[in-house]
């Protein structure tokens, strides 16, 4: 991993203007780095290089449970990749495992063959121009893709609009919803359940890789009166997400994170597997605002958390 994509979520290398907190979360139980985007001002396009490493790594999923994940850089989700609209993006995947792996970001509009390494291939590279702003998932494309995604090979890519986000500076929160298939053995190690992957019946559904990661003891803190901008990916690999914040309406939702495709005053937003959105809201009184997949079975399996609004 080069400096443009660390193993915890960062702003993806480009130093943002502004001081608002960026709430994110990747490495085991860490959360939250700082940042904020006052909105990138018009600037010359850059060339952005991201080098990721495919590796197998034991990760924690909370509740004392672990599993032997297939990862980018050892974390699930993989590192946040963040660029500005118009940038040239160079992606390299180093694969020192004995399995085939690949990396496909939905922001790239190039041929499928560019994304997948074959067995024994140690290095995969491709380039594209990030022409369309938004939030995108990236994931492995090796077969069976189902197992590679369910085992942890996915992440988020943000392409910030070249003129900045229309509603300006905000508290930023990055969430990836994903599913875990398998029950733990006597040591708490989850055994992957391929049959359940195929039938789409996860045992756990999580935000940022951990069951109930943002519970009452670990809420995501927001500010009363301040705009919150949620970058949300539903990587699946199977289920639909119905994202809702209890006690709030989304003042603006950008489908696929594209400011050209805005909806307003939305109560719940549905994302199919492989889709993503940017959702904005603000609250006007202090307190707790739970967020969840309103598919209640999925919330029950771990896809719920807490925003705590403070003055
Ligand atoms: Cu893979």
Rounded to the nearest angstrom, the distance between the alpha carbon of 118 and the centre of ligand 1 is: 11
Q: Do residues 78 and 155 lie in contact, with contact meaning Cβ atoms separated by under 8 Å?
A: yes
Rounded to the nearest angstrom, the distance between the alpha carbon of 150 and the centre of ligand 1 is: 10
Place 260 in a pLDDT band, splitting at 50, 70 and 90: very high
Rounded to the nearest angstrom, the distance between the alpha carbon of 76 and the centre of ligand 1 is: 12
pLDDT for 120: 87
The pLDDT of residue 7 is above 90:
no
Residue written as tokens 């598919």? 295
pLDDT for 279: 98
The pLDDT of residue 74 is above 60:
yes
CATH number of the domain within which 12 lies: 2.60.40.420
The pLDDT of residue 236 is above 90:
yes
Percentage with pLDDT > 90 across the chain: 82
Rounded to the nearest angstrom, the distance between the alpha carbon of 101 and the centre of ligand 1 is: 4
Q: Higher confidence at residue 255 or residue 9?
A: 255
Reading the block at residue 215, the tokens are 């519970």
pLDDT for 118: 86
Rounded to the nearest angstrom, the distance between the alpha carbon of 151 and the centre of ligand 1 is: 8
Rounded to the nearest angstrom, the distance between the alpha carbon of 112 and the centre of ligand 1 is: 15
Q: Which letter does DSSP use for residue 114 in this model?
A: G
Q: Higher confidence at residue 115 or residue 14?
A: 115
The pLDDT of residue 77 is above 80:
yes
Rounded to the nearest angstrom, the distance between the alpha carbon of 97 and the centre of ligand 1 is: 10
Domain enclosing residue 2, as ranges = 1-311
pLDDT for 42: 55
What does the pLDDT average to over 198-224? 97
Rounded to the nearest angstrom, the distance between the alpha carbon of 114 and the centre of ligand 1 is: 14
Per residue in 121-134, pLDDT (tens digit) is 999 999 999 999 99
Q: Higher confidence at residue 171 or residue 36?
A: 171
Reading the block at residue 27, the tokens are 């490495």
pLDDT for 116: 87
**Other beta carbons within 10 Å of 283:** 18
Rounded to the nearest angstrom, the distance between the alpha carbon of 95 and the centre of ligand 1 is: 9
What does the pLDDT average to over 67-80? 97
> How many domains would you assign to the chain?
1
Percentage with pLDDT > 70 across the chain: 86
**Other beta carbons within 10 Å of 160:** 24
pLDDT for 164: 97
Rounded to the nearest angstrom, the distance between the alpha carbon of 96 and the centre of ligand 1 is: 12
What does the pLDDT average to over 282-290? 98
**Other beta carbons within 10 Å of 270:** 15
Reading the block at residue 262, the tokens are 């805005």
What does the pLDDT average to over 91-114? 95
The mean pLDDT of the chain is 89
Place 44 in a pLDDT band, splitting at 50, 70 and 90: confident
Reading the block at residue 58, the tokens are 């034991």
The pLDDT of residue 28 is above 70:
no
pLDDT for 117: 83
């Amino acid at each position: 991993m080069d400096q443009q994509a660390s193993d915890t979520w960062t702003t993806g290398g480009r130093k943002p203007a502004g001081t608002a907190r960026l709430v994110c979360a990747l490495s085991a139980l860490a959360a939250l780095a700082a940042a904020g985007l006052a909105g990138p001002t018009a600037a010359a396009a850059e060339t952005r290089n991201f080098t990721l490493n495919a590796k197998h790594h034991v990760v924690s999923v909370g509740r004392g449970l672990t599993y032997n994940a297939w990862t980018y850089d050892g974390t699930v989700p993989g590192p946040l990749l963040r660029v500005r609209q118009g940038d040239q993006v160079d992606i390299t995947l180093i694969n020192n495992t004995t399995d085939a792996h690949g990396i496909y970001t939905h922001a790239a509009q190039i041929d499928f063959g560019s994304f997948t390494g074959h067995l024994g291939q140690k290095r995969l590279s491709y380039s594209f121009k990030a022409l369309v702003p938004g939030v995108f998932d990236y994931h492995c494309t090796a077969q069976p893709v189902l197992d590679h995604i369910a085992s942890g090979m996915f992440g988020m890519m943000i392409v910030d609009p070249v003129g900045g986000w229309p509603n300006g500076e905000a508290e930023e929160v990055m969430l990836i919803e994903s599913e875990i298939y398998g029950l733990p053995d006597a040591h708490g190690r989850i055994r992957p359940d391929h049959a359940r992957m195929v039938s789409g019946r996860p045992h756990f559904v999580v935000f940022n890789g951990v069951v109930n990661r943002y519970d009452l003891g670990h809420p995501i803190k927001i500010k009363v009166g301040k705009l919150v901008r949620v970058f949300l990916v539903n990587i699946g690999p199977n289920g639909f997400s119905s994202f809702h914040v209890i006690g709030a309406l989304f003042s603006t939702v950008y489908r696929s994170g594209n400011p050209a495709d805005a909806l307003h005053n939305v109560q719940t937003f549905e994302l199919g597997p492989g889709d993503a959105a940017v959702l904005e809201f603000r609250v006007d009184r202090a307190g707790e605002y739970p967020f969840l997949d309103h598919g209640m079975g999925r919330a029950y399996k771990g896809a719920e958390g807490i925003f705590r609004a403070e003055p």
